[in-house]
Amino acid sequence: MKQRTARRRAELFGLLRAFRDAAVALPDAFVAIDEHQRVLWFNAAAGRLLGLSYPNDLGARLFDVVDIPRMPEWIASGGAEALTEIVAPTDADVHLTLRLIPYAQDHALLLARDVSQMLRVEKVRRDFVANVSHELRTPLTVVHGYLDLIEPEQIPEYEPILRELRNQSRRMTQIVEDLLTLSRLDAEEALPESRVAMRPLMNSLHRDAEGLSRGRHTIVLDMKGDDDLRGSSKDLYSAFSNLVSNAVRYTPTGGRITIGWSSGPRGGRMRVTDTGHGIAQQHLPRLTERFYRVSTSRSRESGGTGLGLSIVKHVLQLHDAHLEIESEVGVGSTFTCVFERNRLLSPEHATEEA
């Protein structure tokens, strides 16, 4: 019996040591903390990435030995979401993502991963797209400008070709402009903010829709709130315009399009509903990806670039808002921009500020 217990204990110690060795060898930093955020244990990477030193920092309060400004509030609030783009306290060139994993009772594992390489690659990709788009802009403007000088009617034998050239150069220009908009939004952490007066903005969107539709659809404006938004007028207008133009482009003649704004204690909602082609459920999660289209030919025919919803998503993110999409094939779609309460500005404010 005694022998068996001793053997069992040796096995358990062996297993524990193996686990510890594995954790020590991991490239990510691990720090186990108790309910008072005291350091119980950490691996070698925690020394390199977070500056912890063994054995001095064992038992110390985490915030006294690891200097990351946003970390104390993050841990206090439960750290449900990862803390991203953190500069490592040991090296300003190293960027970390932190995660907090609760275990046992009131204990937690702090995980820090070096994401510097990934951020560098991401920056190279962003710069490349921005540079290519920028370089393409001037030659395209020249081509487009010359094409506009030639009247297709003057050269009847080339009329269809000239019209196609004009269409395609317009399309390319739009793609480049959309890519540049996306690059700018990508690089932005916050947008310039001011009061965005919703009533005039919605009236403009209504007029734009009428212009694009040219009488082919019934277009209704539905205002159910007086609040304005706090944000970038230009970017919100561009995001909402994309939704309106999609509704017009993907709704056959005779359809109905409703452009609505509602606001109240639960926040604000800008909504565009159409009775158009609709979208099958499996496409919905991917619609805001760049160049994702349900039907490439339908998008092209209607002058789409495949970047509109991606722009919408970015603009909304920069306004702490998000996009909700409901759709049914053959019935229609509703795109809703959902804004938090703290993004609303009440009309009384307008009088105070005026």
Positions in the binding site for ligand ADP (CB under 6 A): 242, 246-247, 250, 274, 276-277, 279, 287, 292-295, 299, 304-310, 333
Residue 30, beta-bridge partner list: 111
CB 318 within 8 A of CB 185: yes
Instruction: Provide the minimum distance between the beta carbon of 332 and ligand ADP in the complex, in angstroms, as a whole number.
Output: 7
Instruction: Provide the minimum distance between the beta carbon of 161 and ligand ADP in the complex, in angstroms, as a whole number.
Output: 25
Edge-first strand order for the sheet with 228-231 is 194-196, 228-231, 344-345
- Closer by beta carbon to ligand ADP, 72 or else 306: 306
- Closer by beta carbon to ligand ADP, 287 or else 315: 287
| d(C-alpha 292, C-alpha 308), whole Å | 10
- Closer by beta carbon to ligand ADP, 227 or else 235: 235
Q: Which two tokens stand for residue 335?
A: 């795109």
Instruction: Provide the minimum distance between the beta carbon of 326 and ligand ADP in the complex, in angstroms, as a whole number.
Output: 11
- Closer by beta carbon to ligand ADP, 31 or else 175: 175
| d(C-alpha 335, C-alpha 161), whole Å | 37
Residue 333, beta-bridge partner list: 274, 327
Instruction: Provide the minimum distance between the beta carbon of 125 and ligand ADP in the complex, in angstroms, as a whole number.
Output: 19
Instruction: Provide the minimum distance between the beta carbon of 297 and ligand ADP in the complex, in angstroms, as a whole number.
Output: 10
Helix, coil or strand: residue 104: coil
Report which residue's Cβ sits closest to ligand ADP: 304
Instruction: Give the residue among 195, 202, 251, 255 at the shortest CA–CA distance from 224.
Output: 202
Local structure of residue 312 (DSSP, 8 states): H
Instruction: Give the residue among 74, 149, 136, 140 at the shortest CA–CA distance from 111.
Output: 74
Q: In whole angstroms, how far apart are CA 180 and each of 142, 284, 311, 345?
A: 18, 25, 10, 30
Instruction: Provide the minimum distance between the beta carbon of 331 and ligand ADP in the complex, in angstroms, as a whole number.
Output: 11
- Closer by beta carbon to ligand ADP, 51 or else 278: 278
Instruction: Provide the minimum distance between the beta carbon of 252 and ligand ADP in the complex, in angstroms, as a whole number.
Output: 11
Instruction: Provide the minimum distance between the beta carbon of 211 and ligand ADP in the complex, in angstroms, as a whole number.
Output: 17
CB 118 within 8 A of CB 80: no
- Closer by beta carbon to ligand ADP, 232 or else 310: 310
Instruction: Provide the minimum distance between the beta carbon of 47 and ligand ADP in the complex, in angstroms, as a whole number.
Output: 46
| d(C-alpha 294, C-alpha 299), whole Å | 8
- Closer by beta carbon to ligand ADP, 65 or else 209: 209
Instruction: Provide the minimum distance between the beta carbon of 68 and ligand ADP in the complex, in angstroms, as a whole number.
Output: 38
Cβ-count burial 172-204 (b if 16+ within 10 Å, e if not): bbebbebbbbbbebeeeeebeeeebebeebbee
Q: Which two tokens stand for residue 168?
A: 């395609």
- Closer by beta carbon to ligand ADP, 108 or else 182: 182
- Closer by beta carbon to ligand ADP, 194 or else 238: 238
Q: How many CA atoms lie within 13 A of 45 on its CB side?
A: 18
Rounded to 10°, the helix 159-187/116-149 angle is: 150
- Closer by beta carbon to ligand ADP, 169 or else 245: 245
- Main-chain dihedrals φ then ψ at residue 345, nearest 5 degrees: -120, 125
The count of residues in the chain is 354
